[in-house]
């Protein structure tokens, strides 16, 4: 990928999964603001259409498509639609996930539910990256960003923690396997950020505990994640691949 202004994304098309609201919508807004064309997708069809209407009325820059990231057929159709509409895909943001509520259980979660969360949170990003690979390669390269979580390192959220730790492993494996096609693969591991879903599910006392565990005594906001996303999708990170960056106020520290 070329370009002299690191965060000018005018020549890029980005697919953002899990974009019916929350962090996915904030990521899509940030990419649109830097000039990218964006394909918003989510399993929640009315939700993704409503998010698209909130973001822009400019159909030349935004496409909303319902798709389940675990369904290879529907993801292939999504990439085909992105290619017909915008010419191809340069950036994939794997943001869709199951989280909160039952998904924070470990041994109490039935095996079928473990399979489901691993399917959505780990296999889904693999399916999406695989579906975008040929288009990115044909355009001279691309970028994949996997949305992880500090839960991957803290192991405090049962199956969800395991799924995000596995996603970090997938980031490293995909970085190695897709590098020959010029595709960089990195991740973002947020701490608690006040998305509508997180605010609805996390008790204020638990939020306070999360802030107390950080080095920076700041309430995490969705906007805190945007700098890392723009860095990873732009040429500013041209020499970075296979990494998951913590954006969590210093909650997780590795020497
Ligand atoms: N909010 C936080 O504090 C926080 C912290 C760390 C990581 N994260 C991660 O950030 C991402 C977004 O979180 P959010 O807080 O905005 O939550 P959210 O629930 O609003 O977003 C997740 C989206 O994924 C979609 N989705 C679920 N299953 C899907 C499937 N099979 N196919 C397609 N879409 C599917 C949902 O419909 C939803 O719109 C998730 O990956 C989450 O794990 C969030």
Burial class (CB in 10 A: 0-12, 13-18, 19+), 248: buried
Q: How far apart are CA 164 and CA 71, in angstroms?
A: 20
pLDDT on residue 2: 44
For atom 20 of ligand 1, the residue with the nearest CA is 22
Q: What is the pTM of this model?
A: 0.97
Structural contact between residues 51 and 61, judged by C-beta atoms closer than 8 angstroms: no
Tens digit of each residue's pLDDT (9 = 90 or more) over 33-91: 999 999 999 999 999 999 999 999 899 999 999 999 999 999 999 999 999 999 999 99
For atom 36 of ligand 1, the residue with the nearest CA is 18
Sign of CA dihedral 6, 11, 17, 20: positive
Structural contact between residues 67 and 128, judged by C-beta atoms closer than 8 angstroms: no
Find out whether the beta carbon of 99 lies less than 6 Å from any atom of ligand 1. yes
13-240 maps to CATH 1.10.3720.10: no
Question: Which residue has tokens 């006392």?
Answer: 205
- The residue extents of the domains of the chain are 13-240
160 part of the active site: yes
Find out whether the beta carbon of 42 lies less than 6 Å from any atom of ligand 1. yes
Tens digit of each residue's pLDDT (9 = 90 or more) over 227-242: 999 999 999 999 999 9
What is the average pLDDT value for the chain, to the nearest integer?
Answer: 96
Question: Could you count the other beta carbons within 10 Å of the beta carbon of residue 250?
Answer: 13
Q: How confident is the model at residue 8 (pLDDT cuts 50, 70, 90)?
A: confident
SS3 of 187-237: the string is EEEECCCCCHHHHHHCCHHHHHHHHHCCCCCCCCCHHHHHHHHHHHHCHHH
CA end-to-end span of the chain: 32
Given a cut of 80, whether residue 3 has pLDDT beyond it is no
Ramachandran region of residue 141, left (φ > 0), alpha (ψ -120 to 50) or beta? left
In 3D space, the residue among 162, 184, 156, 169 whose CA is nearest the CA of residue 248 turns out to be: 156
DSSP codes of every residue in 74-132: HHHHHHHHHHHHHS--SEEEE-----SGGGG-STTS-HHHHHHHHIIIIIHHHHHHHHH
């Amino acid at each position: 990928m070329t370009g002299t202004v690191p965060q000018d994304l005018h020549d890029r098309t980005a697919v953002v999964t899990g974009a019916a609201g929350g962090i996915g919508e904030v990521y899509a807004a940030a990419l649109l603001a830097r000039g990218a064309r964006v394909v918003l997708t989510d399993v929640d069809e009315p939700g993704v259409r409503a998010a698209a209407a909130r973001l822009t009325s400019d159909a030349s820059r935004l496409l909303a498509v319902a798709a389940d990231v675990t369904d290879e057929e529907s993801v292939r159709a999504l990439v085909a639609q992105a290619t017909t509409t915008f010419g191809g895909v340069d950036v994939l943001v794997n943001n869709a996930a199951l989280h909160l509520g039952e998904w924070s259980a470990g041994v109490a979660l039935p095996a079928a539910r473990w399979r489901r969360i691993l399917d959505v949170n780990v296999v889904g990003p693999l399916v999406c990256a695989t579906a975008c690979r040929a288009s990115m390669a044909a355009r001279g390269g691309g970028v994949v960003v996997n949305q992880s979580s500090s839960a991957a390192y803290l192991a405090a959220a049962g199956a969800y923690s395991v799924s995000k730790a596995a996603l970090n492993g997938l980031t490293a494996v995909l970085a190695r396997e897709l590098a020959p096609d010029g595709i960089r693969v990195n991740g973002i591991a947020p701490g608690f950020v006040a998305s509508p879903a997180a605010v609805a599910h996390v008790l204020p006392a638990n939020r306070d505990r999360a802030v107390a565990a950080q080095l920076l005594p700041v309430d995490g906001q969705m906007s805190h994640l945007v700098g890392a996303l723009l860095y990873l999708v732009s040429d500013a990170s041209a020499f970075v691949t296979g990494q998951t960056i913590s954006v969590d106020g210093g909650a997780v520290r590795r020497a």
